Amino acid sequence: MRLLEERILADGKVRPGGVLKVDGFLNNMMDMELFQALADQWYEAFQNDGVNKILTIEASGIGLACFAGLAFHCPVLFAQKTTPKHIAGSVYTTRVESFTHGNIYDVIVAKEYLRPEDRVLLIDDFLANGAALDGLCDLVRQAGATLVGAGIAVEKCFQPGGERLRARGLLFQLGQHGRDRGDHHCRRD
């Protein structure tokens, strides 16, 4: 998406080690017009797929997911990285290894909110090694729900997440949307 490309060129900051910081508009301080534009793209890509639930992972995916929820007129569920005491009842659990942060954590969603009849669109800000997206896919599988696809703001193409997701037989096909090189979506075959 040209808007995101332009924003990265204008306000992205390259840190030592080749890290691209987009904290100023994507994943800490968040630009609502950019988010709206991304959600519009995802809606255009998946509007005929019967999406009735958006699933993301806390924390920086939540804002993007909410705009997707607004576009699709459906609820937004976020997977939690720990087990807060106030969640009673049964949950689906999966384990995610974060290469970025160098840790392993459990990710949960309440079973009552992810149902076999759900048609789920995953939303996240980044796809790097794909560990978080793997985890979300696994939660959808455990629930017996239908995985429609995934909308990702930025794929780090130099990291193996996208390729690994395809190679694992998850039947993903990562594509480009129009002239967009920043906004990716994954579609189940």
Site for a second copy, rule CB under 8 A: 15, 19, 21, 23-25, 28-33, 35-36, 58-59, 62-63, 65-67, 69-70, 73-78, 80, 84-88, 100-102, 110, 112-113
Closest approach of a second copy to the CB of residue 65, in Å: 8
CA 28 from chain centre, in angstroms, equals 15
CA-to-CA dists, residue 188 to 33, 51, 150, 172, angstroms: 28, 13, 9, 5
Spatial contact of 85 and 63, defined as CB atoms under 8 Å apart: no
**By C-beta, is 67 or 172 nearer to a second copy?**
67
**By C-beta, is 118 or 174 nearer to a second copy?**
118
**Euclidean distance between the first and the last CA atom of the chain, given in angstroms as a whole number:** 23
In the block, residue with structure tokens 């009673």: 88
Closest approach of a second copy to the CB of residue 9, in Å: 19
Closest approach of a second copy to the CB of residue 168, in Å: 26
57 phi/psi in degrees, rounded to 5: -130, 140
Query: In this structure, which amino acid lies at residue 120?
Result: V
Closest approach of a second copy to the CB of residue 77, in Å: 4
